[in-house]
Amino acid sequence: MSGKHRRQNVWVFFDTEKLNKLSDDAVEKRLLKFGAFVRSDARRSIREAPKRKREKNSKPGNPPLSHTGNLKKNIFFGRDKRENSVVIGPHKNRSGAAAHALEYGGSATIKGFVPKVYELGDRGAIGRDANGRVVVKKLVTEAMVARANRFAIERNDAAISRTVKIEARPYMSPAFERNLPHAPQLFRNSLK
């Protein structure tokens, strides 16, 4: 081929559907990996509350302490296909409004239980009759008082709720910020 260049046409056909599926799968895999990193980081930041000082809370601005493990257990992640993104955070129905209040500050209603304490001479429920109706009598013996107190706990008839103001103790946004610089590395060469 002395000095002459040969020209050749090359036709390449791409199966665009297959390529898009490959791309979507790769993006989904990387998004879910990022979600897992953020979730793990957020869970690690929530330390267990000291056993001796049960009422001790973390300082505002620091991640919350875990008293029951409920918040830590209920942090999930999942892909939102419509937005092509990943959603990471506590499950609202399982963690309640306190999870939101802990992250951003605000108020939350806390349900509690303080059983009524009966004494001799009080009228109290001591059980149910054959038809399932609650039997209320004047408590004349110590055994009746003890029975009424146990029955109050079983019935949960002294449930109370109170609204408390919570200063922000963010745990999700710091975890997200700490992991964001690593996101480009996750997506690099994702179509191998």
| Residue 75 placed within a domain | yes
Contact between residue 86 and residue 31 where contact means Cβ atoms under 8 Å apart: yes
Q: 176 and 124 in one domain?
A: no
Q: 146 and 174 in one domain?
A: no
Higher pLDDT, 187 or 185: 185
Q: 100 and 24 in one domain?
A: yes
With a pLDDT cut of 70, the percent of the chain lying above it is 77
Q: 127 and 50 in one domain?
A: no
Q: 45 and 119 in one domain?
A: no
Residues ≥6 apart with Cβ < 8 Å to 184: none
pLDDT of residue 155: 72
Cβ-in-10-Å burial (0-12, 13-18, 19+) of 17 comes to exposed
| Residue 35 placed within a domain | yes
| Structural domains of the chain, count | 2
Contact between residue 122 and residue 139 where contact means Cβ atoms under 8 Å apart: yes
Eight-class DSSP state of 172: H
Mean pLDDT of 41-53: 86
Whole-angstrom Cα Rg for the chain: 30
Q: 142 and 98 in one domain?
A: no
| Residue 3 placed within a domain | no
Q: 99 and 26 in one domain?
A: yes
| Residue 8 placed within a domain | no
- Out of 49-53, 98-102, 152-156, 188-192, the most confident range is 98-102
Q: 181 and 90 in one domain?
A: yes
Contact between residue 170 and residue 41 where contact means Cβ atoms under 8 Å apart: no
| Residue 192 placed within a domain | no
| Residue 42 placed within a domain | yes
| Residue 151 placed within a domain | yes
Q: What is the pLDDT of residues 56-114, one digit of tens each?
A: 788 899 999 888 888 889 999 988 888 888 889 998 776 677 888 899 998 887 766 65
| Residue 21 placed within a domain | yes
Q: 22 and 76 in one domain?
A: yes
Q: 75 and 40 in one domain?
A: yes
Q: 91 and 181 in one domain?
A: yes
pLDDT of residue 18: 57
With a pLDDT cut of 90, the percent of the chain lying above it is 21
> 85 vs 30, 43, 104, CA distance in Å?
10, 21, 22
Range(s) of the domain holding residue 63: 16-106+168-187
